[in-house]
Chain A
Amino acid sequence: NAGVTQTPKFRILKIGQSMTLQCTQDMNHNYMYWYRQDPGMGLKLIYYSVGAGITDKGEVPNGYNVSRSTTEDFPLRLELAAPSQTSVYFCAGRDSGPLGGYTFGSGTRLTVV
């Protein structure tokens, strides 16, 4: 049972480049999330989705875009990468309802130089 899978695990981008962070889950979670975590800091919500075709902004959405065409996939797009986007990115899923706990992917470490 794979759970939540993120690719790539590591990436170095040059300023101005674009990339897509992939996230797929096989747990049939309705809710999916993208968080970023800067060194020594807490998790900040970028975007989230409560179901296929529905996405919404989190706390720090600028510079990112998402789509949710299927229940399983929730890719995060970075356009025009900036050094401020250097971070660890975590995708997560959880069941709907207040009692649902999160299952996180193993993270993508992104460096923008």
Chain B
Amino acid sequence: RKEVEQDPGPFNVPEGATVAFNCTYSNSASQSFFWYRQDCRKEPKLLMSVYSSGNEDGRFTAQLNRASQYISLLIRDSKLSDSATYLCVVNTNAGKSTFGDGTTLTVKP
């Protein structure tokens, strides 16, 4: 079993749709959690950190469930520009992180 697993996707949704991605992690000692966005042939960029109480940034909402060891990302009112691959990242022990393989989202007109 991988340390971090994501919904494989791809997710194909129409503009305006709400879409949610999940990510599970196996190390209960994991300390911090992030969502990154990666556009085709580009470097990953930090989308948002994930806090225990949940957090929102505009149309994006991230949730953490430590008991069940998963994090989620909800995108409301999807835009064409949201089309990308979304990476879940878990920071475990000092210095190292584990990246999920990513979930691909395509938003269609």
Encode B34-72 as 1/0 by CB contact (under 8 A) with A: 101000011111100100000000000000000000000
B28: min CB distance to chain A, Å: 14
Q: How far, in whole Å, are A105 and B102 apart by their CA atoms in the complex? A: 19
Asked whether, in the complex, the Cβ of A41 is within 8 Å of the Cβ of B101, the reply is yes
A106, closest chain B residue (CB): B43
Report if B26 contacts A (CB, 8 A). Answer: no
Q: Given that A42-B101, A98-B32, A99-B32 are contacting pairs, would A105 and B43 also be in contact in the complex, using a CB cutoff of 8 Å?
A: yes
Asked whether, in the complex, the Cβ of B99 is within 8 Å of the Cβ of A99, the reply is no
Asked whether, in the complex, the Cβ of B99 is within 8 Å of the Cβ of A43, the reply is yes
Asked whether, in the complex, the Cβ of B102 is within 8 Å of the Cβ of A104, the reply is no
**In chain A, residues 55-113, which have Cβ atoms closer than 8 Å to a Cβ of chain B?**
56, 58, 88, 90, 96, 98-107
Q: How far, in whole Å, are A96 and B97 apart by their CA atoms in the complex? A: 12
Q: How far, in whole Å, are A104 and B39 apart by their CA atoms in the complex? A: 13
Q: Given that A41-B101, A42-B102 are contacting pairs, would A101 and B46 also be in contact in the complex, using a CB cutoff of 8 Å?
A: yes
Q: Given that A102-B36, A102-B89 are contacting pairs, would A45 and B43 also be in contact in the complex, using a CB cutoff of 8 Å?
A: no
Report if A34 contacts B (CB, 8 A). Answer: no
CB neighbours of B31 from chain A (8 A): 98
Chain B residues within 8 Å of A, Cβ to Cβ: 31-32, 34, 36, 41-46, 49, 87, 89, 91, 94-97, 99-102
18 A-B pairs in the complex with CB atoms less than 8 angstroms apart? A41-B101, A42-B100, A42-B102, A43-B44, A45-B96, A48-B96, A50-B95, A90-B44, A98-B31, A98-B94, A99-B91, A101-B34, A102-B36, A102-B46, A102-B89, A102-B97, A106-B42, A106-B43
